Amino acid sequence: MGHMGESLAAERRYDAFLSYARADDPDFRQALVDGLDRAGRRVWFDREAMPNCGTTFGQEIRQAIETSDRLILLAGPAAMSSGYVAQEWGYADDIGKPVVPVAHAVAFRDLPDRLRHYHGVDARRRTVDAVVAELARLLAEPVRPLGPCFHLPHRPPHARDRPELLEHLSSALLPDRMRPEDAGRAPRVTALYGLPGVGKSTLAAAFASAVRTRRVFSDGVAWLAGGPGFRPLATARELLRLAAPGAHLPGSDGEVDVALAAALGGRELLIVLDDVRDPDPVLPFVTALGPCGQALLTTLDQAVATALGAVEIAVDQLDDDAARGLLADWAGRSRQRCGRPRPD
Ligand SMILES: Nc1ncnc2c1ncn2[C@@H]1O[C@H](COP(=O)(O)OP(=O)(O)O)[C@@H](O)[C@H]1O
Ligand SMILES: [Mg+2]
């Protein structure tokens, strides 16, 4: 413990990386930096001192973000139209560093969609001292760890994002982090249903591996293969071995329900049951979950979703534009050339 704890502590050097555009109110920025410094918070804001003058997104910036617990985004008008600011917060989000948007001379609704779920600080019509106090309080809170991934399939090459479906999944499966009292109220099963090959499994994997998802499910996200040969006993044993180390493993089919319920009820766990053919054998997995657990299943058969009382989300094939883009990427050509009918 001691050795690892020390090296981790030595690596963690900043409470926050400050991302900003120089053109946005320098006095406000300086007052924030000074205020956080007085509050004992370590903030990295040194970009201007660097050789590239803060116009490129290099290794140094990456490292500074990696060694910070969070990224504070000073969201002024210039920052919101700056490509390198977007690279900074995008990178932080990609690697699981929470972003704290400080809305300064912009409205929250003008922030990019990807930042909507973060807890922001409203700096409009407030004193700098009040903003500093709120930020200092926020930075003092420990960052929730990301849950480990168990058996998640890799993202396919040239994967297309499906933001609307992902958003649908987020609202069904992720509690609003500002309201912990809602955590237990969401339904515990959500199902993606649709024809073979429309991308249900790919979508489930993209959702399950997202940083935002993993932060909610700190005990892990586990991928359980269903299909026609689904074996509840072997699957339960594997799940418990991974996500509940030390738990009693069931020795027979008859023990599966009790063993799962005993081990999983208190966990922040997402289980993905992929390609469920029959509701009965997966039921013990779903009912074992407690208020902080969720199940996401994919199925060809809407009746399976209905039988399990799931929130049902229909998945259709990629739209034409996305499909053409995918083909073009595979073929290594431009989208236009792929989509255009032949002139002859
Ligand atoms: N969003 C996507 N972008 C790129 N390829 C995709 C996407 N969704 C699915 N695919 C590809 O389409 C095929 C079928 O997807 P899959 O998720 O297995 O479908 P389903 O689970 O609905 O049968 C796979 O080869 C997968 O890599
Ligand atoms: Mg599938």
With both helix axes pointing from N to C terminus, report the angle between 26-38 and 128-140 in degrees, rounded to the nearest 10: 50
Residues of the chain with CATH 3.40.50.300: 149-320
pLDDT at residue 24, as a whole number: 94
Nearest to 279 by CA among 257, 302, 261: 302
Identify the segments of the chain with pLDDT beneath 70.
1-12, 47-56, 176-187, 333-344
Select the CATH number that applies to the domain covering 149-320 from these four: 3.20.20.70, 3.30.200.20, 3.30.1460.30, 3.40.50.300: 3.40.50.300
**Structure tokens, 99:** 């972003």
- Structure token pair of residue 230: 């689904």
CA of 17 to the centre of ligand 2 (A): 40
Burial of 252 (0-12, 13-18, 19+ CB in 10 A): exposed
Q: What is the position in ligand 1's atom list of the atom closest to the CA of 162?
A: 1
Q: Contact, 261 vs 255, CB < 8 A?
A: no
Sequence ranges of the chain with CATH classification 3.40.50.10140: 2-140
Ligand 1 mutation target, pool 164, 166, 192, 202, most atoms within 8 A of CB: 202
Residue of the nearest CA to atom 16 in ligand 1? Answer: 199
Q: Which two tokens stand for residue 290?
A: 């407690």
Does the CB atom of residue 159 touch ligand 1 within 6 A? Answer: yes
Cα separation, 298 vs 301, whole angstroms: 9
Query: What is the model's pLDDT at position 344?
Result: 46
Q: How far is the CA of 303 from the centre of ligand 2 (A)?
A: 16
pLDDT at 46: 73
Protein residues near ligand 2, an ion, with CB under 5 A: 201
Scan for tokens 């479906």, then name that residue. 165
The two three-digit tokens of residue 311, written as one number: 């929130």
Beta bridge partners, 306, equal none
Tell me phi and psi for residue 200, to 5 degrees.
-65, -50
pLDDT (0 to 100) of residue 243 = 96
Measured from the Cα of 275, ligand 1's closest atom is: 21
Tell me, using a 6 A CB cutoff, whether residue 156 lines ligand 1.
yes
Check if 157 has its Cβ closer than 6 Å to any atom of ligand 1.
no
Task: Provide the pLDDT for residue 319.
Answer: 84
Contact 44, 14 (CB under 8 A): yes
Are 28 and 104 in contact, with CB atoms under 8 Å apart?
A: yes
pLDDT of residue 325: 82
Identify whether the C-beta of residue 18 lies closer than 8 Å to the C-beta of residue 74. yes
- Which two structure tokens, joined as six digits, stand for 255? 């023990």
The pLDDT value recorded for residue 324 is 86
Report the pLDDT value the prediction gives residue 184, as an integer from 0 to 100.
52
* Superfamily for domain range 2-140: Toll/interleukin-1 receptor homology (TIR) domain (3.40.50.10140)
Q: Return the residue whose CA atom lies nearest to atom 11 of ligand 1.
A: 199
Rounded to the nearest angstrom, the distance between the alpha carbon of 196 and the centre of ligand 1 is 9
Half-sphere exposure at residue 133, Cβ-oriented, CA atoms within 13 angstroms? 5
- Closest-CA residue to 71 (of 132, 6, 143): 143
What pLDDT sits at residue 156?
Answer: 87
Q: In whole angstroms, what is the distance from residue 114 CA to residue 94 CA?
A: 11
Q: How far is the CA of 298 from the centre of ligand 2 (A)?
A: 7
Q: Judge contact between 305 and 314, C-beta under 8 A.
A: no
Query: Could you identify the residue written with the tokens 């199902």?
Result: 191
